[in-house]
Structure 1
Amino acid sequence: MDGQNQLDQEIKLIHERNRRVEAEKAWELSWLRRLFISLVTYITAGIWLVLINDTSPWLKSLVPTVGYLFSTLSIPILKKWWIIHRFK
């Protein structure tokens, strides 16, 4: 039964690893993460533009923020297209 116990332990470790990987992937795709990064980007860009005395700093801070959000929406679509055409 020692071999069976070892197999059971290995299966348990694989399941635990899979749960961690699934959680990491869910975080990478989560809207909470996207919105948090967007907020930090907006605030950082806004502060920088204020410090250099640019005009309309908070309006201009929307450019990198929207660009980031757009990239998170378009990349999964591009990835799906790439996978379909790469592995035909």
Structure 2
Amino acid sequence: MDLTQRIEAIEERNRKVEADKAWETSLMRRFLVAILTYGVITSFFFVAHLPNPFVNAIVPTLGFLLSTLTVSSVKRWWLKKK
């Protein structure tokens, strides 16, 4: 593999990494995670015959969503301290 091919391979990998990073930080992904989490928790509450599954599923969904939103902030803080 010559130098030009190696550079092209690195650039292609970088494009993939940048696309993955964009997806990981996108609002669409966060919204999708929240909807899927809410659906799974609501389904579980129905199966477990718990009261008000639609309302009660909001709290764990918000907790999960909040934890995923704050991870990047905590990571930045941790990297600065390190």
TM-score, normalised with respect to structure 2: 0.91
| Bigger Rg over Cα | 1
Partner of 1:79: 75
7, 12, 20: which is aligned to 2:8?
Answer: 12
Give ranges in structure 1 of 5+ residues lacking alignment: none
The question of 1:59 aligning with 2:55 is answered yes
Question: Residue type matched to 1:83 in 2?
Answer: L
Name the Cα RMSD after superposition.
Answer: 1.3
TM-score, normalised with respect to structure 1: 0.85
Deviation >6 Å, runs of 4+ = none
Q: Deviations over 1:7-49 (max 9, x none)?
A: 1111111100000011111111111111111111111111111
Q: CA deviation at 1:58?
A: 0.7
User: Percent identity of the aligned residues?
Assistant: 39
Give ranges in structure 2 of 5+ residues lacking alignment: none
Q: How many pairs were matched up? A: 82
Partner of 1:42: 38
